[in-house]
Structures are given as C-alpha cells and as structure tokens.
Amino acid sequence: MARRSMIAGNWKMFKTPTETMALIKELLPLVADVKHRDIAVIPPFPCLYAAKEALKGSRIMLGAQNIHHEEQGAYTGEVSVSMIKDLGCAVVIIGHSERRQYFYEESGLCNLKIKRAFAHQLASIYCVGETLHQREEKKTFEVVLHQLREGLEGLTAQQLSAMVIAYEPVWAIGTGKTATPQQAQEVHNQIRKYLIDVFGPDAAQQCRILYGGSVKPDNIDELMAQPDIDGALVGGASLAAKDFARIVNYL
C-alpha cells in the first residue's frame, strides 16, 4: 500500500498573527481540491491561534515548531504539549537543524520530546541531517543513523508508524542549494533500511520520510518522483501562498 504523502510548511520566525490570517486566506482556495495528500502549516507560537481560526473548515493540519519535554513547570519562555494541543495542533517539529545548531539540542533531548508528544497523541516530525563538513568527510550516513538511533530509542513499532522523519541536509537549508533527487533518495533509502532493521518492515513502510532543504516549485516534481521521498518539509517557499500551493500540487 502506497504511503500518503505529506507537505508541511515550516514558517520559522516569520509572519505576525495578522499576516498569518492573510496568508492562509490566500492559500486555502489554491489547495482546496487536494484531498489525496496531507498538508500542514507550522507557524510561530504567537500565530497559532490566528492560524487555527483561519484554518477552520479546511483539511489543512496545524503544527508547532517545538515543544518542551516536560509536562509543565518553571521553564520561562518554553511551551508545553498541552498548550499547543489546546490550540488545535496535530503535529510538531522536533530536532530541526536550527534548534540543534543555535540552541544546542541533542538527539537524546529530542527523544524525550517525541515521547512527550506521543503521550498526548501528537504526531512528531523528527528532523535529521548532516552539515556540509560532515558530508565532505563522507559521514552522512554515520551522522544520520546516529541521530535516528538516539532520537527513536525506546519507541515501539506502532509509534514509529505514526510519526514522520524529515531528512534535512543542513548545507541545503536556506542556502539555495538542494541535494539532487538522487542524493536525497540515497539517504532516504538508508533511513528506510535502518527503520526496517530496528522496527520491522511494516512499521518502516508506514513511516513517512520527508525531504527538507530549499524545496521549491521548480524542484518538487523531481524530488517526489523518488521512491523513498514521501513529501517535503518546506521552508521559505511556504511563506508565499502561490509557491506553497504549487508544491502541494506537485505532479
């Protein structure tokens, strides 16, 4: 059975609540006929309520960009799973390369966040990927598999089948550079093989693996033609309704 593809737009630290309403209003009619794949928009925390209101009546899922691994507590500036669930979020990004790079988040911490998300029936998009230096040293598979091993530790096959992995070559995020479809497929295939070895073929085949890294309207079709690429985690192109709609409507 073919996996249902997913296109998720990570807005990062862009858009105000007012701009969020306007962007979603422009986007909705452009993707209204898409029923055969999942769509998610993932704005900054202050924009989640505005996005929830704007998305009412649509099939588009709302997501958050991060969560804290504890249920609640004295963690000034942090956001809990309960908070984003109450705002209507169905998915959360965990371990994005920018969280790893700028906020020193390790895969072990991501593992705690994934487990916390599962405790609240919230789907995770767990991000993995190598830097340019690591790729040049031919350590791509070593780095990615290490992130998978630590981030997914202790999860069941059933949990894996319900989550999403996103491969993001760090050197391709926001740089305009994109891994070729063949390079992306090679890593996605290695991820799939690892998941099969650890969680079994059924769960591994159900788990969706997205590609993230300068995904644009002019490269989405070729990327999605690869057998182990099940969708995309889109950055900058998700901030323009027409560009994101074109990606959602890939051939």
Exposure pattern of 8-22 as b/e (b: 16+ CB <10 Å)?
A: bbbbbebbebeebbe
- Tell me whether residue 216 is exposed, middle or buried, using C-beta atoms within 10 angstroms of its C-beta: 0 to 12, 13 to 18, 19 or more: middle
Q: Does the annotation count 36 as an active-site position?
A: no
Among candidate residues 68, 69, 96, 188, the one labeled active-site is 96
What are φ and ψ of residue 207, in 5° steps? -70, 125
Of 128, 113, 118, which Cα lies nearest the Cα of 194? 128
Find tokens 């159900």 and name the residue.
Answer: 206
The catalytic residue among 98, 105, 130, 168 is 168
Long-range contact pairs involving 130-136 (C-beta distance under 8 Å, separation at least 24): 130/169, 130/170, 130/171, 131/170, 131/171, 132/170, 132/171, 135/169, 135/171
- Amino acid at site 203: A
User: Residue 98 catalytic?
Assistant: no
Q: Indicate which residues carry an active-site annotation.
A: 96, 168
